[in-house]
Chains A and B, each alone.
Chain A
Amino acid sequence: MRNVSHFRRLDDAAGGKVTLTFDGEAIEARAGDTVAAAMLSAGFVAGRETPVSGSPRGPYCLMGACFECLVEIDGEPNRQACMTEVRDGMSVRRMHGARAFG
């Protein structure tokens, strides 16, 4: 589900356009954005459900400390969205349940 985003871009932020997909849906970001920034500005707040209680989780501290923003990036699970820079063609997916192996 996509929410109305409360995150607003600053006009003076530089960087060319980058297109990535979130659960298969194309979203636009700027070069240099983190995946978390791209998700939030596109209105996607939750990137997974916690395997402990099943409740939704999304980017929170935005500085690599809280590990709430974990998503699957290009097939690799549990990556920190706030610590990963977007790339053109990147595939980001929500995660459901605990990460599997391999």
Chain B
Amino acid sequence: MADGTFAVIGGGLVGMAVAWGLASRGRKVTVFDEGDRAFRASRGNFGLVWVQGKGIAMPDYARWSRLSAQHWPGLRDELRDAAGIDIELAQPGGLQMFLDEDEAEQTVAQMQALRTALGGDYPFEYLGHNAVKKLVPEIGPQVVGGIHSPMDGHLNPLYLLRALHKGVRAAGGTVLHGPRVERISSRPGSFEVHRADGTWSADNVVLCAGLGNARLAPMVGLDAPVVPNRGQVIITERVRPFLNMPTVHVRQVGEGAVQIGDSKEDVGLDDSTRGDVLAAIARRATRYFPLLEGVRVVRTWGALRVMSPDGHPIYDRSTACPGASLVTCHSGVTLAAAHARVVAGWICGEQAPGYMEVFGAQRFALQAAG
């Protein structure tokens, strides 16, 4: 199993990370990419490599996110060597700030419970206003405190997408931009990928099509119950460096612009923006950092998260159609390192962490029954 050629469906961060992992293992890979007319979460995300707070309800997801964060410097180096692109990875730790004492208390309690579930190995610290101010002097008086964790960081997600595309090509992979994949048919030992512009054969197929996975998965005996959730994001003009680490809602990018997120809206396949939502996002950011008042907004956009019923990733290999697998998640940036360095190997039959199995889609049936 998992010898021969691979068709990766989806050319976003998930598909390209898996494709890079396969291609750098010497596998022959063809990526089918719908292009920028797709709902491209990879072009609209926030760029965090984030660990703290993830997996409150599923400690293995916390382990997994952290494992990916630990793999990031390695992937950064691989991409710099293969593609000559610096993805601006920085992992100086990250800050989750609070404007409300109760919310702070509740979150700290959840993270302490997670730390216990993980056997104590889960570094973070709750800091009061003054201690946060020592770390990030520009916070406003309304910030009551924050959680700092050395596990967190950020990068430039557009450079990352470009580096993966360049790297995959440099490693001998092919990326076919064009119409969406309409259908995947399977016969024992091989698959056919059908698009309006042709049909391609492959020995293996990996579904990394984001929201498109819901439609494609049943064709190869898999299940991907993912739905969209919209987030809106603001980019400001470039300003002098004032923020030396990412926070959950505000980060300063390499060139000086400030990226501000985000909203969580269930609005279906609608990636437009709304003035009232953006205003609320901007208002919250100025409570964290009053110096942002008067800083000009230069761009805003909406993008669709790819959400499973519990918000955690789905990794699955088809038993009905051996050779077909599924990789889908919301955190395509954070998890790209794990996708390239661990999941690609798992697809090829390499040893992977034992807890990989908990990310199978059968958990949703169990959750529904339980």
Contacts and interface: CB of A to CB of B under 8 A. Distances in A.
Given A67-B298, A78-B296, A51 B237 contact: no
Contacts of A67: 237, 298
Given A52-B256, A67-B298, A102 B291 contact: yes
Contacts, number: 33
A100 interface: yes
A97 B240 contact: yes
A17 interface: no
B136 to A, nearest CB: 14
Contacts of B298: 67
A51 B242 contact: no
Given A52-B255, A78-B296, A99 B237 contact: yes
A101 B295 contact: yes
Contact of B256 (A51, A70, A102): A51
Interface residues of B, number: 13
Interface string B254-271: 011000000000000000
Interface in B241-300: 241-242, 255-256, 291, 294-296, 298
Contacts of A63: none
Contact of B238 (A99, A101, A102): A99
A98 B295 contact: no
Nearest to B254: A52
A101 B291 contact: yes
Given A67-B298, A78-B296, A101 B239 contact: yes
B159 to A, nearest CB: 14
B291 A99 contact: no
A70 B241 CA distance: 18
Given A67-B298, A78-B296, A99 B240 contact: yes
A78 B237 contact: yes
Nearest to B138: A101
Given A51-B256, A52-B255, A78-B296, A98 B239 contact: yes
A97 B256 CA distance: 11
Nearest to B292: A101
Contacts of A51: 238, 240, 255-256
Interface string A42-83: 000000000110000000000000010010000000100000
10 contacts: A51-B238, A51-B255, A52-B255, A67-B237, A67-B298, A97-B240, A98-B239, A99-B240, A102-B291, A102-B294
Given A51-B240, A97-B240, A101-B294, 13 more contacts: A51-B238, A51-B255, A51-B256, A52-B256, A78-B296, A98-B238, A99-B237, A99-B238, A101-B239, A101-B240, A101-B242, A101-B295, A102-B294
